[in-house]
Amino acid sequence: MEKIPTLFVRDFSTQPAYVLPKVTPGCEWVTAGEGEATRKYDGTCTMLDQAGQWWARREVKPGKNPPPDYLLVEEDPVTGKRVGWEPIEQSSFAKYHAEALANCKVETSGTYELLGPKINKNPDDFEQHVLLPHGWAPFSVRQDYATAPRDHTGLRDWLHARPYEGIVWHHADGRMAKIKGKDFPR
What are the DSSP calls for 53-65, one per residue? -EEEEEEE-TTPP
CB 81 within 8 A of CB 64: no
Neighbouring CB atoms inside 10 A of 129's CB total 24
Tell me the pLDDT tens digit for each residue of 55-107.
999 999 999 999 999 999 999 888 899 999 999 999 999 999 999 999 998 98
Q: Is the pLDDT of residue 1 over 70?
A: no
Neighbouring CB atoms inside 10 A of 105's CB total 7
The pLDDT of residue 136 is 85
What is the three-state SS of 2-40? CCCCECEEECCCCCCCCEEEEECCCCHHHHCCCCEEEEE
Q: Is the pLDDT of residue 171 over 80?
A: yes
Phi-psi region of 27 (alpha: psi -120 to 50; beta: other; left: phi over 0): alpha
The pLDDT of residue 91 is 96
pTM higher than 0.85:
no
Residues 6+ positions from 129 with CB-CB distance below 8 Å: 96, 97, 99, 100, 103, 114, 115, 116, 117, 118, 119
